[in-house]
Amino acid sequence: MDERFYDSLELNKILEMLSKECSNEKTKKMALGIKPCSDLYTVKKETGKTAEALELSVRYGTPNFYNINDVSTYIKRAEAGGVLSLGELIQIRRLLAQTYELHHWYEQCENKDTSLSYLFEMLYPNKYLQQRLETAIIDETKLSDDASAELRSIRQKITRSGLKIRETLDKMIKSPSTQKYLQESIVTMRDGRFVLPVKTEFKGNVSGLVHDTSATGSTLFIEPMSVVEANNDIRILQGQEQDEIHRIIAEFSMECAEMKDQLISNYNAVTELNLYFAKANLGAKMRAMLPEISNDGVIVLNKARHPLIDPKKVVPINFSIGTDYHSLIITGPNTGGKTVVLKTVGLLTLMTMCGLLIPASDGSRISVYKNVLVDIGDQQSIENNLSTFSSHISRVKTILDEADSESLVLLDELGSGTDPVEGAALAVAIIERIRIFGATLVTTTHYQELKMYAIDTPDVENASCEFDVQTLHPTYRLIIGSPGKSNAFAISESLGIDKDIIKYAESLISEDNRKFETIIDNLERTRIQLEENNRLAEKYRAESEALRKELAEQKEKFYDQKEAELEKARREAQQIVNRVQRESQALVDELDKLRKEKENPNFTQKAIDARHKQKSTMNKLYSEANPVSESRNEGYVLPRPLKKGDNVLIVDTNRKGIIITPPDNSGMCFIQAGIMKTKIDVKKLQLIEKQQPQKQSKKPVKKGGVSKSGIESRMTRKVSTELDIRGYAADEGVHEMEQFISDAIMSGVTMLTIIHGRGTGILRDAIRRALKHHPSVKSFRKGVYGEGEDGVTIVELK
């Protein structure tokens, strides 16, 4: 493919962006040198590597890449027996560190079966050599004392010798006999030897070797004879140091030469991995994805964005070609986005063919082409005497010479720059020729003739870049299937052209063109209305779906809370039952103990104390069984003491009940609430006062000389539904029960509770035998949990 076509689509700018993501010079050159590939298998393989690099980066973080030099020349020289410099060894050390880090990073990845695996398998880390180089080399000019034991020993000897020389010279400086000859009281170095700065006129007073003179000539730098031998020793040691440094570097060079193949393999693998992860990083910044790739000429772009336009300003487009039609003619006003559509389609196709991901949404599809042929922009040249029209036609000729069934052709403003009638006819002829070649074609135009041509010709479709007539601004949306209007009159009027001129211009348009424009206008309004209806329908669908999900979540949350509360209630109930069992067992043990002490003189008092303790314990258990907060009754004071028969409100549950037994000393009383009977603290009750009946002004009516005012009717008689006969003898209890049943029958009560207690069971059995044969009893049963169980009998009257 002609690289001029790449430049028209600005592929070079994308590759420059890619190179900035690379870490070393070789990878940057590889990025800038990428060419679009027309082989489907290769394109799929390369884009797949990029996609897997992005996936690995997302899951495990992008590996770190260093800026490393090409070490192959260093290694080859070392293999030939050359000694490398410390700078070159540092580069090899960086390569080894990079290799180890990449190898270690890949080892942490769970899924190692990727298309990049072969590159990681080309990495040969050598931690031993890497650590030796890191320990030995400080920088490009110096080895560490840890490079070898011999080097450390030599340097220590040099240091000790230097200290001895300094001590000797320091004594001379401090000596009055010598100090007066010195220019300064300091020890300095010349040519690597320790010397003293002596005044020139006292040269003969300090015996030694002159090594240097100051710039003014007033100072001589003399090495005293007393330290000459020591300085010579240091020189010898420094020679030994250089020999040891050379030996160490030569040894490192030889070791690097021995693993030449591994180091070159490491370098090649690192640079290639750097390129693929650079592609992945670029894709991440563009929010790009891997499209479906084929070579059947089908392109589908969903919410595609031109990668060189500011992401905050770019308007995504939806584009398709290659299924129902293979030629697309895009119309619309200037600056409406037609050229951007062409560039987006062409550039994203080339990016895919370069192994890059594209900034589009899921469901996008790209076709691989042998040629991507482009004529976009004004290529006129003064030097070649080419006009705008000539430059376009020159480029179109090149395209016609190369176009075939494996080509994507992108033409901007086809036929423009000349007479509109001839230009439109020429444009139709060119499109027909390209269609005969079987190429995929996208072109832009303003000509009405091309719009009509697209309507009348099979396999050719119209498209338009939407223009908002209200605001007179383009929306940059691509509408496929609908031809666009140039809106020249509306734009001209908005820019201040006189209305009379606009009207006169409109009158010059032929009747056929006016009708065609009217049809297009009506289609555009219908399309906008349909889009608005679809938008509202989608909005309502989304709202209903969101509401459905919210209701489902609330329902699930409700069931979870319900189960949690039930489980909490079960646990609390189990705790209460366990506590009751423990307290009950304690009471039984206490009774057994009292039974054994029956003959004890203090038995009566102990029995009273035990009863009080039992009562206190039961009250405590009743309180624990009703753990609801008392805060609702805070501040309320009973207007009077409660008595049997009072109507009360249980504030914790907001239920009404009737006092069965007056409160005891601890404030606990029994209450009948519906069919349930419970013991509760008076602090949780509020008295419900009865309304006083209005006083009758009339005197009681007498009938037959007998006053009825003192007789209580069945409707007004108040009879308790509960009889407590605990402690009664069997015959007494039966008698009380029968009288109680008679009163209940008179009052119309049908459900009664007989409290006889458990005890020895004699009273209970007598009561139930009497109930079995009582003519007014329909049925009876023992109490259930909460009613008193076997200590009470529930009676239903006929």
C-alpha dihedral over 473, 478, 480, 485, to 10 degrees? 20
Q: How many CB atoms lie within 10 A of CB 59?
A: 10
- Here the tokens at position 358 are 């594209």
Q: How many CB atoms lie within 10 A of CB 175?
A: 10
CA distance linking residue 360 with residue 363, whole number of Å: 9
CA distance linking residue 444 with residue 412, whole number of Å: 5
159 is in an annotated binding site: no
332 is in an annotated binding site: yes
CA distance linking residue 753 with residue 782, whole number of Å: 10
CA distance linking residue 611 with residue 606, whole number of Å: 9
Please answer whether residues 485 and 520 qualify as being in contact, where contact means their C-beta atoms are separated by less than 8 angstroms. yes
With both helix axes pointing from N to C terminus, report the angle between 511-596 and 603-625 in degrees, rounded to the nearest 10.
180
Question: 165 Cβ partners below 8 Å, 6+ apart?
Answer: 194, 227, 230, 231, 234
Q: Which amino acid is at 441?
A: L
657 is in an annotated binding site: no
- C-alpha closest to that of 135 among 160, 158, 152, 159: 152
Question: 684 Cβ partners below 8 Å, 6+ apart?
Answer: 626, 628, 630, 633, 650, 651, 652
φ/ψ of residue 182, rounded to 5: -90, 145
423 is in an annotated binding site: no
The per-residue DSSP string of 346-374 comes to: HHHHHHHHTT--BS--TT-EEE--SEEEE
Q: Is 256 exposed, middle or buried (0-12, 13-18, 19+ CB in 10 A)?
A: buried
335 is in an annotated binding site: yes
42 is in an annotated binding site: no
Block residue for tokens 């009938």 = 703
Please answer whether residues 379 and 411 qualify as being in contact, where contact means their C-beta atoms are separated by less than 8 angstroms. no
Q: How far is CA 493 from CA 54, 334, 485, 653, in A?
A: 51, 15, 15, 77
Which element (helix H / strand E) includes 260?
helix 260-285
C-alpha dihedral over 433, 439, 440, 444, to 10 degrees? -30
Q: Half-sphere exposure (CA, 13 Å, Cβ side) for 722?
A: 24
Helix (H, G, I), strand (E, B) or coil at 483: coil
CA distance linking residue 582 with residue 574, whole number of Å: 12
Q: Half-sphere exposure (CA, 13 Å, Cβ side) for 537?
A: 6
Please answer whether residues 457 and 467 qualify as being in contact, where contact means their C-beta atoms are separated by less than 8 angstroms. no
Please answer whether residues 456 and 493 qualify as being in contact, where contact means their C-beta atoms are separated by less than 8 angstroms. no
338 is in an annotated binding site: yes
Q: First CA to last CA across the chain, in angstroms?
A: 107
333 is in an annotated binding site: yes
DSSP β-ladder status, 440-444 and 327-331: parallel
- Binding annotation for ATP: 332-339
- Binding annotation: 332-339
